[in-house]
Copies of this chain bind each other. A is one copy, B any other.
């Protein structure tokens, strides 16, 4: 029996139920232009600056086993990102929150990947002051997505430190504003694929680690936890993992992390809402530590998934 069965057995049963659902929103529901539509029918204007200049921010909370996880933390970050981009939501925060809960309930999806987008709207900021650009809000709920699926979580995934591409520096695009300007990540995904690995980690171009394509990086060395302080998204999952690690009595170092430390680590985890705590057991073709999913990873894995039913972090959704 794998350490993951504890979570995945029940999850697979819920997936089977969703698969059998006749709810028209069972494959996903979007709120675009004021209407609820099945995700496959959701469209946005070609001229939306969110497409025309990737001028947007977004956020991604999740629903697990019928409970919304850390929704308010994601809304906090979403609002902070909007403020940095000089955006103002056309609808109040409470309405975004209510609609997201309503959409999950309406869809019947019990394990959901939830996205909220705020785009600049149809006006371009060179021609209009930001206060004269009515921003567009789009909402999306789909079945839960896995950056790392069950089988890989059991054995651990493989990664490379990208050598052909570096992370966009914070002085160019602020990574704490969650954004979809993924050109560096896309290049790095291709490099990982070309080198026979699943995931890339990007450096900051100055010898320090940053993050990967949609996840923060957490290292374990001498029983201590390390994660990069800057040049990265301030991930909600990273925050959760740090809090849980501290409760477990583990020392956490959030600082500049030299690239070399990844090669010297006993364990490596990638952490993100879409997958949780994901073990990496091969780096640049070599085993990480003894090449097995390590004890700290397993402990944090369990603590992370247990938090999903803890009222401190989550609340139940009233399905119809």
Question: Of the candidates B44, B147, B182, which one forms a contact with A44 in the assembled complex, judged by CB atoms under 8 Å apart?
Answer: B44
Interface pair B130/A190, CB less than 8 Å apart: yes
17 A–B contacts, CB within 8 A, in A order:
A43-B43, A43-B44, A43-B46, A48-B51, A51-B180, A53-B185, A54-B180, A54-B181, A85-B186, A125-B189, A125-B190, A126-B189, A126-B213, A130-B190, A165-B171, A168-B172, A168-B183
* Copies per complex of this chain: 2
Interface pair A42/B45, CB less than 8 Å apart: yes
For A, the interface residue count at a CB cutoff of 8 angstroms equals: 51
Q: Which residues of B contact A53 (CB under 8 A)?
A: 180, 182, 185-186
Question: Of the candidates B85, B126, B140, B183, which one forms a contact with A46 in the assembled complex, judged by CB atoms under 8 Å apart?
Answer: B140
A52 interfacial by beta-carbon distance below 8 Å: yes
Tell me the dominant secondary structure on chain A's binding face: loop
A32 interfacial by beta-carbon distance below 8 Å: yes
A173 interfacial by beta-carbon distance below 8 Å: yes
A 201-217 contacts with B by CB, 8 A: 205, 213-214
- Knowing that A125-B186, A166-B169 are A-B contacts, what are 16 other residue pairs whose CB atoms are under 8 Å apart, sorted by A's residue number? A39-B46, A39-B47, A44-B46, A44-B51, A48-B51, A50-B51, A53-B182, A53-B185, A54-B183, A55-B186, A125-B189, A125-B190, A126-B147, A165-B171, A168-B183, A181-B181
Q: Which residues of B contact A190 (CB under 8 A)?
A: 86, 125, 130
The 9 lowest CB-CB distance pairs between A and B, nearest first, are: A173-B183, A43-B43, A181-B181, A54-B54, A42-B46, A53-B182, A172-B184, A168-B172, A166-B171
A40 to chain B, nearest CB (A): 8
Q: Which residues of B contact A47 (CB under 8 A)?
A: 39-40, 42
A 247-301 contacts with B by CB, 8 A: none
